[in-house]
Amino acid sequence: MKLEDFNNIDFNNAGNLPTPVKTVILSVIFVFLVAAGYWFFWAPALELLGQEKAKEQELREVFVTKKKQAVKLEDYKQQMIEIERIFGALLKQLPDKSQMDGLLTDINQAGLARGLEFELFKPGQETIFEFYAEMPISIKVNGNYHELGNFAADISKLSRIVTLNDLTITQQTKDSKDGKLVMEAIAKTYRYLDAGEIASKKKADQKDNKGKKN
């Protein structure tokens, strides 16, 4: 086979072409068809196959995760029961709205019982959270070291949750010789919201969220 054989190819008389020339031409046509088939058909199919394999792997991982969760479902149920029990016990330590006055009286009486003199006992504005409200109470009392310590201990022993925050203790006067001290603090107490208050809170939150989206 010579190069001149390709210069005088007559495709109208392809049947009479030399065998080597036919072989080369058929090989070129075959390679072209394979390349075209790969480009137009196989490549997209292979890409789709890769995507489907990735999706299959993702679904397998989701299945394995769900299966593990299903196996541990009973454990999760027991954990939820325990969480609800603990939550209920904690909730019982919070008074409802009707009991707040009694709790404020208990805090005041705890100080008076220890011989403290109140200069300030002022409930503040409630802060509403998801299922409870927090009320700060500004307190300023006079007493000696032991009286103040016993008062703080009595507060911690109340059946309802009360915490003392931002606490400062100073001498009543600079030349005080009777050991009198002044304690200022923010007592915080909590109450749980009734069903109506919780519904109102959720409604207000939904309204706020809707307003932010718009």
Residue 174 in any domain: the answer is: yes
Residue 203 in any domain: the answer is: no
> Same domain for 117 and 48?
no
Neighbour tally for 11: CB within 10 Å = 7
Residue 16 in any domain: the answer is: yes
> Same domain for 56 and 131?
no
Residue 186 in any domain: the answer is: yes
Q: Beta strand 132-143 with 127-128: parallel, antiparallel or unpaired? A: antiparallel
User: d(Cα 211, Cα 201) in Å, to the nearest integer?
Assistant: 15
> Same domain for 63 and 108?
no
Contact 29, 11 (CB under 8 A): no
Q: Which two tokens stand for residue 129?
A: 């959270």
What is the chain's alpha carbon radius of gyration, rounded to the nearest angstrom? 42
pLDDT at 194: 76
Per-residue model confidence as pLDDT tens digits over 28-65: 777 777 777 677 676 777 777 778 888 888 888 888 88
Residue 213 in any domain: the answer is: no
Contact 183, 167 (CB under 8 A): yes
> Same domain for 116 and 185?
yes
Residue 53 in any domain: the answer is: yes
> Same domain for 174 and 114?
yes
The residue segments making up the domain with residue 32 are 1-71
pLDDT (average), residues 4-27: 60
pLDDT at 14: 55
User: d(Cα 126, Cα 95) in Å, to the nearest integer?
Assistant: 14
> Same domain for 102 and 187?
yes
Neighbour tally for 85: CB within 10 Å = 10
Confidence of residue 19 (pLDDT cuts 50, 70, 90): low
155-172 as b/e, with b when 16 or more CB fall inside 10 Å?
Answer: beeeebbbebeeeeeeee
> Same domain for 117 and 180?
yes
Helices (H), 73-183: 73-91, 100-113, 145-156
We report the CATH number of the domain holding residue 113 as: 3.30.70.60
pLDDT at 15: 56
Whether the CA torsion 166, 172, 175, 180 is positive or negative: it is negative
